[in-house]
Amino acid sequence: MLLDFLLLIASLAIVIKSADFTVRYSTKIAEGFKLPKYIVGFLIVAVISVLPEAMVSINAAIQGVPALGLGTLFGSNVADLTLVLAITIFLANRGLKIENRLLENKWFHIIAIAIPLLLGLNGSYSRFEGILLIITGLSFYAYILRRNKSTVKTEREPFSYKNLFLFLLSLGVLILGANLAVQYGASLAEKLKINPVFVGMFIIGLGTILPELTFSIKAVKQDHDDLALGDILGTVVADATIVVGLIAIISPFSFAPQLIYVTGLFMFLAMVLLFYFMKSDKVLSKREALYLILFYILFVIAELFFSGLY
C-alpha cells in the first residue's frame, strides 16, 4: 500500500513536470507560427494546462474507471477556482486586477460550466452528449478568441524542429505518467477501500492543478493578471466540456448522480462566486481570497459527508 502511494506521487510528479515542458515547447511552436501574444497565452497555455488531468481522465476511461476521471476533473476545477486563485492573490502581494472584457464574457463561462452538469443529471454521459460537450467547449473558445483577439506584438522565436521534437517527447512522457497515475491511484483506492472518485478529487485532482498554479504565480509576478485569470478560467471550461466529452466518446459511462449534485454544484457555485467577487470592485482582494479558501474547505467537508453516496 505504501509502495502504491509513493508510486502515485512519483507518477504525478512526472505528469506535472512533463506538462511544464509541454507548455514551454508548445508556446515556442505557437510563437514560431507568429500567433498574437493573447492567443498564445489564452489558447496555448490554458488548453495545454489541462493536459495533466485530461490525460489522467482519458486513461481512466480507457482502463475502465471513467468515474475516477470525472472526479479528477470536477475536483481539480473546484480547486482551480478557489485554492489556485487564492494562493495566487496572496503571493501577488496585491489584488488581481480585473479587465472589463473578462466581465463581459462572464455569462459564457457560467453557461459553459452549466451544460455538462445539466447533461449529467441522470448519472450518465453518452457518446452523443460527449459530442455536444466538445462542440460547447470549442464554440466557447472560438467566441472568446474572436471577441478578444489581441494585436499586441510579442517576441517571436523562429519555428524549430527541435522544439517540435521536444514538445512531442514531453507529451509522450505526460501520457505515460498519466497512465501510471491512474493505475496506482486505482490500486491505492482498492486497497484502502476508498471510492475511486474520492481519490480522483483529492489526490490526483490536487496534484494536477500545479501547472495552473505555477503559471498563474509567474503571470502575476510579471503583472499579467489577465493571463493568470484567463489560464484558470480557460482550463476549467476545457476540463468540464472538451475533456468530459472525450471521456464520454471513448467510453460512455454511468456514475452516481451525487457527483453532479455535490461536486458539480460546488464547481458551478465557485464560478458564480468568483465572478461576483470580480464584479464587486474590479479587483480580487486578499479578503476575497480568504473567502475562496473557506469555500474550498466547505467543499472538502461536504465531500467527506457525502462520500458514502458515491
**pLDDT tens for residues 185-222?**
778 777 877 776 667 666 666 666 766 777 777 778 77
Taking residue 10's Cβ as centre, other Cβ atoms within 10 Å add up to: 14
Q: Copy the grid coordinates of residue 98.
A: 480585473
Most confident segment among 105-109, 200-204, 281-285: 105-109
More confident residue, 308 or 144: 144
Entry field: residues in the chain: 310
More confident residue, 170 or 266: 266
Those residues with Cβ within 8 angstroms of residue 160's Cβ, 6 or more apart along the chain or in another chain: 28, 32
**Among 23-32, 65-74, 81-90, the least confident range:** 23-32
- To the question of pTM greater than 0.75 for the whole model, the response is yes
Distance of alpha carbon 33 from alpha carbon 158, whole angstroms: 8
Do 206 and 76 meet the contact criterion of CB atoms below 8 Å apart?
yes
Looking at beta carbons, which pairs linking 170-176 to residues 24 or more positions away fall under 8 Å? 170/18, 170/19, 170/21, 170/22, 170/24, 170/25, 171/18, 171/22, 171/51, 173/14, 173/18, 173/21, 174/14, 174/15, 174/18, 174/19, 174/22, 174/51, 174/52, 174/55, 175/55, 175/59, 176/14
Residue 290's pLDDT band (cuts 50, 70, 90): very high
Most confident segment among 83-97, 146-160, 213-227: 83-97
Taking residue 164's Cβ as centre, other Cβ atoms within 10 Å add up to: 15
Distance of alpha carbon 90 from alpha carbon 180, whole angstroms: 33
Residue 106's pLDDT band (cuts 50, 70, 90): confident
Mean pLDDT calculated for residue range 87-112:
83
- Which of 223, 215, 189, 193 minimizes the C-alpha distance to 203? 189
Assess whether pLDDT exceeds 90 at residue 257.
Answer: no
Per DSSP, helices labelled H in the chain are: 2-32, 37-39, 46-49, 51-62, 66-79, 85-92, 100-104, 106-119, 127-148, 161-192, 196-199, 205-207, 210-221, 225-238, 244-250, 258, 265-281, 286-306
Distance of alpha carbon 299 from alpha carbon 291, whole angstroms: 12
Residue 99's region, left for phi above 0, alpha for psi from -120 to 50, else beta, is beta
More confident residue, 32 or 240: 240
More confident residue, 282 or 3: 3
- Quote the percentage of the chain above a pLDDT of 70: 81
Distance of alpha carbon 220 from alpha carbon 215, whole angstroms: 9
Do 144 and 39 meet the contact criterion of CB atoms below 8 Å apart?
no
Assess whether pLDDT exceeds 50 at residue 151.
Answer: no
Mean pLDDT calculated for residue range 279-300:
90
- Nearest 5°: CA angle at 51, between 46 and 56? 145
Mean pLDDT calculated for residue range 2-13:
86
What's domain 2-309's superfamily in CATH? NCX, central ion-binding region (1.20.1420.30)
- Which of 135, 167, 131, 143 minimizes the C-alpha distance to 24? 167
| Mean of per-residue pLDDT scores for the chain | 81
Residue 152's pLDDT band (cuts 50, 70, 90): very low
Assess whether pLDDT exceeds 80 at residue 42.
Answer: no
Segment 111-127, tens digit of pLDDT: 999 999 999 999 999 99
Assess whether pLDDT exceeds 70 at residue 226.
Answer: yes
Distance of alpha carbon 238 from alpha carbon 240, whole angstroms: 6
If DSSP codes are grouped into helix, strand and coil, which group holds residue 156?
Answer: coil
Q: Copy the grid coordinates of residue 198.
A: 474520492
- Quote the percentage of the chain above a pLDDT of 90: 27
Q: Where are the domains of the chain?
A: 2-309
Question: What pLDDT does residue 161 have?
Answer: 83
- Provide the β-strand partners of residue 254: 124
More confident residue, 145 or 237: 237
Assess whether pLDDT exceeds 60 at residue 40.
Answer: no
